[in-house]
Amino acid sequence: MRVGILGGGQLARMLALAGHPLGLHVTVLDPGEAPCAAAVAGHIQADYEDMAALERLAAASDVVTYEFEQVPEAAVAALADRVAVHPRSEALGTGRDRLHEKSLFRELGIPTAGFAAVDSEADLESAVAEVGLPAVLKTRTMGYDGKGQEVLEGEGNVPGAWERLGRVPLILEAMVAFDREVSLVGVRGSDGDCRFYPVAENVHRDGILRESFPRPGDPAQVAAEANARTLLERLDYVGVIALEMFQAGDRLLANEMAPRVHNSGHWTIEGAETSQFANHMRGVCGLPLGTTEAVGGSAMINLIGELPPTNAVLAAPGAHLHLYDKGPRRGRKLGHITVRADDAERLRERIQGLSAALG
Ligand code: AMP
């Protein structure tokens, strides 16, 4: 089968790599001259609104999917007239907008932190009264990796915040004093089969994911799966979804969903029986899903801004290096390392060994 992907970054690259052994041919549409997926897939260089290019992508694909949620609605609508698009555009529209996302969680009974919409400076006052402080003020769309958000610690931070975030539609969310951040990556097939990877514990710094630690058998698994299953079924979803949550005590609060493969699922390439990328490709192509069980223990470390010496990583036992073929830039995800071992003790030793080797 032929799979079209909107976006040609590292997620599309890893999707294409997972598709190769299954005989799936990938074409990406991306405005960049040499997006990193183009090394392993066909590439149509064009803007996402370029109707002629979208038509070419549709003609080159049996099914189209995407690697990011900020895809213009018009592009998806144009494609959906010509070819199957998974996940459906409703999931994309929901995942693109933090207010829609949280409203859907609320409608489905999935617990979240308190939140309120902010469409004007005056709204911000009433939202603060409703949600309380401290709180996090976020742009509804286009925010990622901690961009487009500001923490309001107290009343003194409120004046000017609407201005500082660019006078765009915002959402104010109560600040959660979480014990940990977790995510659940799940996948639904075209026949409704739902499968879930073990919950991963995620460490963020400066709003960017740094490390993910899958926790098979975690006590949060049952509630996290119930939330994700509700979402998958409500959205009649096909493909991989990620649900990011805060855990505070025994409360699990949904923060956001990503209607795509997710950074907190990269460990599945070596750490699970079937990777999130292979399962997304299987799902959108109408193929049976693969087992989502973890294979031993693993940990994923993002390589951000600069790369460690390749030889030091490759020489570390159990370390698997993934380079995205992207130039160094501050805050940019350039690759990741998955460390794998058969048991928890050895995994700890291997992570320590890798840290020591990388200084
Ligand atoms: P987000 O873009 O919503 O994923 O936010 C990026 C990071 O900011 C999260 O991973 C958290 O570490 C932090 N954060 C976001 N929203 C909240 C919140 N309501 N309470 C506490 N921390 C938050």
What is the share, in percent, of the chain residues with pLDDT greater than 70?
99
Q: What is the pTM of this model?
A: 0.96
In tens, the pLDDT along 43-73 reads 999 999 999 999 999 999 999 999 999 888 8
Residues 265 and 231 in one domain: yes
Residues 125 and 210 in one domain: no
* Spatial separation of the C-alpha atoms in residues 194 and 238, rounded to whole Å: 9
Q: Are residues 246 and 197 in the same domain?
A: yes
The pLDDT of 7-20, averaged and rounded, is 98
255 touches ligand 1 (CB under 6 Å): yes
The Cα 169–Cα 167 span in angstroms is 7
Task: Report whether residue 136 contacts ligand 1, using a CB cutoff of 6 Å.
Answer: yes
Helices assigned H by DSSP within 147-275: 161-164, 221-234, 268-271
Distance CA 299, CA 115 (A): 32
Q: Is 230 exposed, middle or buried (0-12, 13-18, 19+ CB in 10 A)?
A: middle
| 16 and 124 part of one domain | no
Checking if the pLDDT of 258 tops 90, the result is: yes
Residues present in the chain in total = 359
In this structure, is residue 25 part of a structural domain? yes
For residue 58, the model assigns a pLDDT of 98
Assess whether the C-beta atom of 147 lies below 6 angstroms from ligand 1: no
In a shared domain, residues 239 and 327: yes
CATH number at residue 199: 3.30.470.20
Q: How confident is the model at residue 147 (pLDDT cuts 50, 70, 90)?
A: confident
pLDDT, one tens digit per residue, over 65-119 is 999 998 888 899 999 999 999 999 999 989 899 999 999 999 999 999 999 999 9
Structural domain contains residue 319: yes
d(CA 176, CA 114): 9
Q: Specify the amino acid at residue 164.
A: R
The mean pLDDT value of the chain amounts to 96
* Domain boundary pick from 153, 174, 195: 174
Tell me, what's the pLDDT at 207?
A: 85
Span 170-186, average pLDDT: 98
Structural domain of residue 145, as residue ranges?
114-174
Residues 331 and 241 in one domain: yes
Q: For residues 263 and 326, state if they share a domain.
A: yes
Look at residue 168 in the predicted model and tell me its pLDDT.
94
Q: What is the Cα–Cα distance from 349 to 346, expressed in whole angstroms?
A: 5
Per-residue model confidence (pLDDT) at position 145: 65
Flag whether 8 is in a domain.
yes
Last residue of a domain, one of 156, 174, 192: 174
Whole-number pLDDT of residue 143:
73
Is the domain of 141 the same as that of 265? no
Q: What is the pLDDT of residue 359?
A: 81
Question: Do the Cβ atoms of 314 and 321 come closer than 8 Å?
Answer: yes
**β-strand pairing of 25-30 with 42-45:** parallel
Residue 37 gets the label, from left (phi > 0), alpha (psi -120 to 50) or beta, of alpha
Residues 209 and 77 in one domain: no
Q: Is 101 in the pocket of ligand 1 (CB under 6 A)?
A: no
Rounded mean pLDDT, 207-233: 97
Residue 46 lies in a domain: yes
- Nearest CA, atom 17, ligand 1: 175
- CATH number reported for the structural domain that contains residue 22 in this entry: 3.40.50.20
Backbone angles phi, psi at 155, to 5 degrees: -55, -35
Q: Residue 304 Cα, ligand 1 centroid: separation in angstroms?
A: 19
207 CB near ligand 1 (under 6 Å) = yes
240 lines ligand 1 (CB under 6 A): no
Cα four-point dihedral sign 67, 73, 78, 83: positive
Domain count, the chain: 3
Distance from the alpha carbon of residue 205 to the mean position of ligand 1, in angstroms: 10
pLDDT at 237 over 70: yes
